[in-house]
Amino acid sequence: MTEIPEHLLKRSRERRSQLTGTPAEGAEPAADAAGAEPVSTVPATTAAAAPAVPNTGPGSRVAGAAPPAAPAPKPDSPVVAAAKRRTKIPFWAMAGLSLMPLWGFMYVRALTEPPEVAEDPLTIGAEVYAGVCSSCHLADGAGSGSGRQLNEGEVLATFPNIEDQIRFVSFGTQNYQNEGIDVYGDPDREGGVHETNSLGLMPAQSEAAGGGLTDVEILSVVCDERYTIGGADPESDEYAEEFEQWCSEESPIFVALEAEETTLAELADAGIVNAEGSPIEILPIGDAPAPASPASP
């Protein structure tokens, strides 16, 4: 530690003595009034006349000005105060509330009745034709290099009896050839007969013959080919009875097949009756290919 010089300490003691009016430490006592020389009063007068100087020494510090007081906080408005008092929604409830629109949509869907889907032969047949038959016969039935023309009455000329068309669609040309049947459809067809080995191969469509269509789908697609694509008029004298018995929404044959009360192979012996209660005359379709019947005279 650095030692402070003695003359500086002495000067500091003298200065403190002047300011406080107490004798400095280490000063010699005053002489007797009788024998001592008078002490000069000049320093005392000077000290008394000197203005007071604030003590800035290390023993004293001038206090700084106090900082201004912080302004009082502004009171909350009634709306803000009410919001602060309001109970907050738990975080787990927020997740549930975010799903409310979805729940509302599902609730409305559950209460809304779905539209009725028509299940008549022509509606089903149109779907089957678009998915199974249109690739060869084309969407409008105009035919191609691998499928016969069906529109403009061509399919009606080939199959004047709906049972013969159902049988051919069910078993296909290969099964006809295996049975030794060279002509499918009307053997007296105007414009020439259709042979089984001509213009592509008609695949078997019946599940019983290795295809993928049910009896209801086969009947339906045949109805679509005859009345929607082929041009048969369901109100004409020639086709009105066939349409009512086979292809209408109330068709007793369609209803029996849909209810699985019978099959296409057993249809002729199922005893199905028409709306008047009379038995419907049905040509046997059977469970194998067979020559077609000519058109009725």
In a domain, 64, yes or no: no
Statement: the pTM of the whole predicted model exceeds 0.95: no
* Residue 5 maps to a domain: no
Residue 149 placed within a domain: yes
Q: Look at residue 221 in the predicted model and tell me its pLDDT.
A: 98
pLDDT tens string, the chain, 297 residues long: the values are 566 777 777 877 787 777 776 665 555 554 444 444 544 444 444 444 445 555 555 544 555 567 777 788 888 888 788 777 777 777 677 777 778 888 888 888 888 877 666 689 999 999 999 999 999 999 999 999 889 999 999 999 999 999 999 999 999 999 999 999 999 999 999 999 999 988 888 999 999 899 999 999 999 999 999 999 999 999 999 999 999 999 999 999 999 999 999 999 999 999 999 988 999 999 999 999 999 999 986
Whether the Cβ atoms of residue 157 and residue 191 lie closer than 8 Å to each other: yes
| Domain-located, residue 181 | yes
- The enclosing domain of 226 has a CATH number of 1.10.760.10
Whether 111 maps to a domain, the answer reads no
Helices (H), 4-113: 6-20, 42-49, 78-85, 91-98, 100-111
pLDDT score of 30: 46
- Cα dihedral: 128, 132, 133, 139 (round 10): 70
pLDDT of 54: 54
Residue listed under structure tokens 């004047």: 160
Count up the domains in the chain and report the number: 1
Beta bridge partners of 197: none
Q: Is residue 252 part of a domain?
A: yes
Domain annotation covers residue 106: no
| Domain annotation covers residue 105 | no
Domain housing 251 = 121-269
Provide, for the chain, the percentages of residues in helix, strand and coil under a 3-state DSSP scheme, each rounded to the nearest 5.
Answer: 40, 5, 55
